[in-house]
Amino acid sequence: MDDIRPAISANPPRLLDQVRRHMRDAGYAWKTEKTYIHWIRRYILFHGKQHPASLSDAHISQFLSTLANERSCSPSTQHIALNALVYFYKKFMGVPVDALSFSRAKVQPRLPVVLSHQEAMLVIEHLHGLHRTMVALLYGTGMRLNEMLSLRIKDVDFELSTITVRAGKGDKDRTTILPDQLKPLLEEQITRVACQHEQDLREGYGDVYMPYALARKYPNAAKELAWQYLFPSTGIGKDPRTGVLRRHHLHESALRKALCKARRASGINKPIKCHTFRHSFATRLLQQGYDLRTIQKLLGHSDVRTTEIYTHVIRRGAMGVVSPLDGP
């Protein structure tokens, strides 16, 4: 249950726990909290565990320059570390950070790895059972991996052929398409989840994790079938906040291992990850003639410029130019 925040006391004695508490009071996402804490910890260790209050802008600049020059970190990684330290000093400690001077990592244009439709279907054909359904869902909807794993039964609307993504990146909700080919498979999956949930209830479990304060607002909802995860885990685990034993959703590691095996079996020599199917979803829609704004909404991009990267992908290797080898 590594996507559930562990409990923290109201007045934690440790510095990093105080930062965690401050971020939660400010409403930061759980992934942002984990990322910022990671970089603040690395910054403290880099300077020999000195208290950050005794360090200056020069120490921040030294750390960021080391990431670029010695660690060869990407520009995005260096930028995340900068954001974490600016948050820590300006918002948590109330100390201005105005005199930074550091070596910036070189920005290199990168295009995402995408699969053709034939390649994507070939990989899916080499998967089996639930893993095949899950990867097909990633390709057919454009969801991120954690968005798919967090789906509840209530988020699937067979009548409208839509899937509602709750609290996606940026804590935003959106809807995406539900492929007709996956409807029978998802209906079977819901039937299996219902049978498993009935057994959990008989054994004294069946209480699923509820986000935010919904457990207090709707005390009986946690045991309703609608709130159960679409892809529940095979075992019962302990909630890190409350210690309650309950069934969470599947962990991402098993799907990643299955996908790696399917990639090798398919003979495709591309570095395929779960997120590759999100990229392939977008490029496939572009190839089919859908406009960027529609694809932007389906992907949940806040800026259309993020979606525009896929226009470069589909032009790669073509660009309206005929190779001399292929010409008359």
How is domain 15-92 classified at the CATH fold level? DNA polymerase; domain 1 (1.10.150)
What's the rounded mean pLDDT across residues 250-272? Answer: 93
Structural contact between residues 113 and 241, judged by C-beta atoms closer than 8 angstroms = no
Nearest partner of 266 among 113, 125, 128, 132, judged by Cα: 125
Q: Taking 60 as the threshold, does the pLDDT of residue 320 lie above it?
A: no
Confidence of residue 278 (pLDDT cuts 50, 70, 90): very high
Position 261 scores a pLDDT of 95
Alpha carbons 138 and 125: distance in angstroms, whole number: 14
Confidence of residue 328 (pLDDT cuts 50, 70, 90): low
Alpha carbons 309 and 196: distance in angstroms, whole number: 42
Confidence of residue 130 (pLDDT cuts 50, 70, 90): very high
End-to-end C-alpha distance for the chain, whole angstroms: 60
pLDDT, tens only, 91-129: 999 998 888 888 887 767 678 899 999 999 999 999 999
Tokens representing 105 are 């990592």
Tokens representing 65 are 């320059």
Q: Which residues of 197-227 are buried (b: 16+ CB within 10 A; e: fewer)?
A: beebeeeebbbbbeeeeebeeeeeebeebeb
Which residues, in sequence order, are bridge partners of residue 237?
A: 246
Pairwise pLDDT comparison (57 vs 318), residue with the higher score: 57
Confidence of residue 323 (pLDDT cuts 50, 70, 90): low
Residue % of the chain over a pLDDT of 90? 60
Structural contact between residues 225 and 154, judged by C-beta atoms closer than 8 angstroms = no
C-alpha to C-alpha distances, 313 to 272, 278, 298, 316, nearest whole angstrom: 16, 13, 18, 5
Tokens representing 104 are 């910036």
Q: Taking 60 as the threshold, does the pLDDT of residue 327 lie above it?
A: no
Alpha carbons 137 and 133: distance in angstroms, whole number: 6
Q: Taking 70 as the threshold, does the pLDDT of residue 317 lie above it?
A: no
Task: Give the residue carrying structure tokens 């993020």.
Answer: 306
What's the rounded mean pLDDT across residues 163-176? Answer: 88
Which residues, in sequence order, are bridge partners of residue 177?
A: 162
Domain extents for the chain? Answer: 15-92, 109-317
Length of the chain counted residue by residue: 328
What's the rounded mean pLDDT across residues 248-276? Answer: 93
Which residues, in sequence order, are bridge partners of residue 276?
A: none
Alpha carbons 47 and 14: distance in angstroms, whole number: 18
The residues assigned a catalytic role are 144, 169, 275, 278, 301, 310
Q: Taking 90 as the threshold, does the pLDDT of residue 150 lie above it?
A: yes
Position 322 scores a pLDDT of 57
Evaluate whether the domain defined by 109-317 bears CATH number 3.30.1490.100: no
Query: How big, in percent rounded to 5, are the helix, strand and coil portions of the chain?
Result: 50, 5, 40
Q: Taking 60 as the threshold, does the pLDDT of residue 316 lie above it?
A: no
Pairing mode of beta strands 162-165, 174-177: antiparallel
Q: Taking 60 as the threshold, does the pLDDT of residue 318 lie above it?
A: no
Position 72 scores a pLDDT of 82
C-alpha to C-alpha distances, 199 to 140, 181, 196, 231, nearest whole angstrom: 31, 29, 5, 16
**Mean predicted lDDT score pLDDT of the chain:** 89
Position 243 scores a pLDDT of 78
